[in-house]
Amino acid sequence: MITIIARFKMQAGKEEEALQSTRKMAEAVQANEPGALAYFAHRSQEDPLEIMFFEVYAGDDAFQAHAQTPHMAEMRSAFPQLFDVSQVKVERWERVGGFARPEAG
Protein backbone atom coordinates (compact mmCIF):
# COMPACT_ATOMS: atom_id res chain seq x y z
CA MET A 1 0.00 0.00 0.00
CA ILE A 2 1.28 3.48 -0.94
CA THR A 3 -0.06 6.83 0.16
CA ILE A 4 0.49 9.91 -1.96
CA ILE A 5 0.02 13.55 -0.99
CA ALA A 6 -0.05 15.80 -4.06
CA ARG A 7 -0.46 19.54 -3.63
CA PHE A 8 -0.60 22.44 -6.01
CA LYS A 9 -2.27 25.82 -6.52
CA MET A 10 -5.18 26.87 -8.66
CA GLN A 11 -4.84 29.85 -10.99
CA ALA A 12 -6.57 32.84 -9.38
CA GLY A 13 -9.91 33.42 -11.12
CA LYS A 14 -10.10 29.80 -12.30
CA GLU A 15 -11.13 28.28 -8.95
CA GLU A 16 -14.56 26.93 -9.91
CA GLU A 17 -13.33 25.31 -13.11
CA ALA A 18 -10.28 23.92 -11.35
CA LEU A 19 -12.35 22.44 -8.50
CA GLN A 20 -14.71 20.92 -11.05
CA SER A 21 -11.74 19.26 -12.79
CA THR A 22 -10.57 17.71 -9.50
CA ARG A 23 -14.06 16.24 -8.90
CA LYS A 24 -14.22 14.88 -12.45
CA MET A 25 -10.77 13.37 -11.96
CA ALA A 26 -11.86 11.64 -8.73
CA GLU A 27 -14.93 10.20 -10.47
CA ALA A 28 -12.80 8.79 -13.30
CA VAL A 29 -10.37 7.25 -10.81
CA GLN A 30 -13.22 5.65 -8.87
CA ALA A 31 -14.80 4.24 -12.05
CA ASN A 32 -11.62 2.97 -13.71
CA GLU A 33 -8.92 2.23 -11.15
CA PRO A 34 -9.74 -0.62 -8.76
CA GLY A 35 -6.20 -0.35 -7.36
CA ALA A 36 -6.88 3.23 -6.22
CA LEU A 37 -8.26 2.53 -2.74
CA ALA A 38 -8.87 6.13 -1.73
CA TYR A 39 -8.70 9.40 -3.62
CA PHE A 40 -9.80 12.60 -1.90
CA ALA A 41 -9.49 16.14 -3.23
CA HIS A 42 -9.28 19.00 -0.71
CA ARG A 43 -9.09 22.75 -0.66
CA SER A 44 -7.03 24.53 1.98
CA GLN A 45 -8.86 26.49 4.66
CA GLU A 46 -5.82 28.76 5.00
CA ASP A 47 -5.00 29.40 1.33
CA PRO A 48 -8.09 29.40 -0.93
CA LEU A 49 -5.96 28.61 -3.98
CA GLU A 50 -4.30 25.51 -2.57
CA ILE A 51 -5.45 21.99 -3.50
CA MET A 52 -4.34 18.72 -1.92
CA PHE A 53 -5.01 15.16 -3.03
CA PHE A 54 -4.77 12.30 -0.55
CA GLU A 55 -4.40 9.09 -2.53
CA VAL A 56 -4.03 5.47 -1.44
CA TYR A 57 -2.95 2.77 -3.90
CA ALA A 58 -2.90 -0.99 -3.42
CA GLY A 59 0.75 -0.99 -4.50
CA ASP A 60 3.34 0.50 -6.79
CA ASP A 61 1.75 -1.08 -9.89
CA ALA A 62 -1.56 0.64 -9.17
CA PHE A 63 0.20 3.96 -8.68
CA GLN A 64 2.18 3.58 -11.91
CA ALA A 65 -1.02 2.60 -13.76
CA HIS A 66 -2.73 5.76 -12.45
CA ALA A 67 -0.16 7.92 -14.24
CA GLN A 68 -0.91 6.17 -17.55
CA THR A 69 -4.71 6.53 -17.60
CA PRO A 70 -6.61 8.59 -20.23
CA HIS A 71 -8.16 10.74 -17.47
CA MET A 72 -4.66 11.56 -16.17
CA ALA A 73 -3.60 12.54 -19.70
CA GLU A 74 -6.67 14.77 -19.94
CA MET A 75 -5.90 16.38 -16.58
CA ARG A 76 -2.28 16.98 -17.61
CA SER A 77 -3.40 18.65 -20.79
CA ALA A 78 -5.83 20.99 -18.98
CA PHE A 79 -3.48 21.56 -16.05
CA PRO A 80 -1.60 24.71 -17.15
CA GLN A 81 -4.85 26.58 -17.83
CA LEU A 82 -6.29 25.87 -14.38
CA PHE A 83 -3.33 25.33 -12.06
CA ASP A 84 0.10 26.79 -11.35
CA VAL A 85 2.42 24.17 -12.81
CA SER A 86 5.45 25.57 -10.97
CA GLN A 87 4.02 24.61 -7.58
CA VAL A 88 3.26 20.89 -7.83
CA LYS A 89 4.61 18.83 -4.91
CA VAL A 90 4.19 15.07 -4.70
CA GLU A 91 5.20 13.06 -1.62
CA ARG A 92 5.15 9.29 -0.97
CA TRP A 93 4.21 7.93 2.44
CA GLU A 94 4.05 4.53 4.10
CA ARG A 95 1.12 3.95 6.42
CA VAL A 96 2.22 2.92 9.90
CA GLY A 97 -1.13 2.80 11.71
CA GLY A 98 -4.66 4.06 11.93
CA PHE A 99 -8.20 3.42 10.76
CA ALA A 100 -11.14 4.76 8.77
CA ARG A 101 -14.81 4.36 9.63
CA PRO A 102 -17.38 3.85 6.83
CA GLU A 103 -18.65 7.44 7.32
CA ALA A 104 -15.25 8.79 6.23
CA GLY A 105 -15.77 7.80 2.60
Please tell me whether residue 10 binds its own copies under the rule CB under 8 A: no
Contact 87, 61 (CB under 8 A): no
- In degrees, rounded to 5, the angle at the alpha carbon of residue 53 between the alpha carbons of residues 50 and 56 is 165
Please tell me whether residue 67 binds its own copies under the rule CB under 8 A: no
Given the rule CB under 8 A, which of 62-70, 72-80, 92-100 is the region that contacts its own copies?
A: 92-100
Given the rule CB under 8 A, which of 27-35, 61-69, 71-79, 80-88 is the region that contacts its own copies?
A: 27-35
Contact 64, 96 (CB under 8 A): no
Give the integer Cα–Cα distance in Å for 41 and 35: 17
Please tell me whether residue 89 binds its own copies under the rule CB under 8 A: no
Please tell me whether residue 78 binds its own copies under the rule CB under 8 A: no
